[in-house]
Amino acid sequence: MSALLLAFDDEWPLAERLAAALAWPLQPVARHRFPDGETRLRLPPRLPARVALLRGLQQPNDKLTELWLAAAGARELGAAQLALASPYLAYMRQDIAFSPGEVVSQRHVGRLLALAFDAIVTVDPHLHRVATMDEVVPGRCGVALSAAPLLGQWIAAKVQDALLVAPDEEAEQWVAAAAHAHGLPYLVARKQRLGDHEVRVSLPSIDVAGRAAVLLDDVASTGRTLVDAAAALRARGAASVDVAVTHGLFVGDAIERLHAAGVRRVWSTDSVPHASNCVSVAPLLARALEEWAAG
């Protein structure tokens, strides 16, 4: 056995797809939670020299502890080269201190991952003032993949004459990549954030009446920005509004509020398990891990 994929039970469907794409054996990381909240992990007792661990970091606080323990245990059990395949990487937004005393979470989570893993592979990380994943995980191999072209392909097949819409300026990079890959037109909305739960989205002076609009973004959490953008598109006469995102976190009643704002369909990749999953990131992750394993 030259390489092995490890995964937790709550991400097993993606793990099976990834293992099949890699043609690697797949083994579980077994967990037992004690009444006091501590967790006991069990790995295969003997590991090959090259191991990849699949772990998305949605709901990250408990998972980071488990991830650290799993990585340390894998080293003890024989993994000389250890990669993390994290389809969704948390704590990437806070890349500077916006006010005195704020902890820059991206910097410190990145350093923590760099201590545990030789390579970190992720999909559409939410980076702003940092150009590459190598900067996030200093001294290690950081790989940032994008699912935008895959979502663009799905949209092109499902929506005739689709108009892609970036709900804010930050989303333009993903919308542009999807649009250029499949010859789709796009526009970029502008967002003003008024608080954690309130935003205001404005559209450029482009006629969207009668168009089939598809809002595309990297992540949907509370969905506030997408809700406001959908309402703005409907108010301007868009014939339909669909939503496609890489990471469908959809906190609380986000899906219900999207539909209430006039969204017809919601699509996401399987980077985060959700009922809206329609596109798999397994082929993207597999190619990156194959390159790492061959290195």
Q: Which of 183, 192, 181, 188 has its CA nearest to residue 215?
A: 188
Of 191, 211, 224, 247, catalytic: 191
Q: Which of 200, 173, 198 has its CA nearest to residue 188?
A: 173
End-to-end CA distance of the chain: 17
Q: Which of 189, 228, 217, 226 has its CA nearest to residue 205?
A: 189
Residue 191 is among the residues annotated as catalytic for this protein: yes
- What element of type H or E holds 40? strand 39-42
Cα–Cα distances in angstroms (integers) from residue 33 to residues 41, 66, 68, 177, 203, in the given order: 9, 11, 16, 42, 48
Q: Which of 104, 142, 148, 146 has its CA nearest to residue 123?
A: 146
How is residue 24 written in tokens?
């690697």
Q: What is the dihedral of CA 17, 135, 109, 104, to 10 degrees?
A: -140
Q: Which of 48, 71, 174, 58 has its CA nearest to residue 119?
A: 71
Q: What does the alpha-carbon distance between residue 1 and residue 66 come to, in Å, rounded to a whole number? A: 25
How is residue 37 written in tokens?
């909240």
**Strands 190-195, 198-202: pairing kind:** antiparallel
Residue positions annotated with a catalytic role:
191
